[in-house]
Amino acid sequence: MVPAVRCLELSVIRARVRFILKYGKRNPFPKFQWQKSFFDHYCRGESDLRNHLEYILRNPTKHGLPTDWPYVFSNPKYADLVDPI
């Protein structure tokens, strides 16, 4: 085995052993819960889907993000990745 890979493997094993020694079988992470304002929704038809897509497209503007902001799908750089509505 390549020494660097073996070193990484041993580091992962040591981290796992330290974690088990510290926490044992109890889970230190909080149980997952949905946000209180979360509501599940199925799109019931073409118009419902269109409303949701328009909401998603308006959201960055609604929150004041510029259209050329690098992390917004409306950035012209990503125009070929977004299907027209």
Residue 53 neighbours by CB distance under 10 Å: 13
Please report the pLDDT score of residue 29 as a whole number: 77
- Output the 3-class SS for 42-79: CCCCHHHHHHHHHHHHHHHHHCCCCCCCCCCCCCHHHH
Please report the pLDDT score of residue 42 as a whole number: 84
Please report the pLDDT score of residue 2 as a whole number: 61
The answer to whether residues 43 and 52 touch, using CB atoms and an 8 Å cutoff, is yes
Please report the pLDDT score of residue 79 as a whole number: 76
**Alpha-carbon span 60 to 5, nearest angstrom:** 43
Q: What is the pLDDT along the chain (85 residues), one digit of tens a residue?
A: 567 677 888 888 898 888 888 888 787 777 777 777 777 788 888 899 889 888 888 888 888 888 777 777 777 777 777 777 6
Domain boundaries, the chain: 3-26+42-81
Please report the pLDDT score of residue 61 as a whole number: 83
Please report the pLDDT score of residue 85 as a whole number: 65
How would you class 27 by CB atoms within 10 Å of its CB: exposed for 0-12, middle for 13-18, buried for 19 or more? exposed
Please report the pLDDT score of residue 65 as a whole number: 83
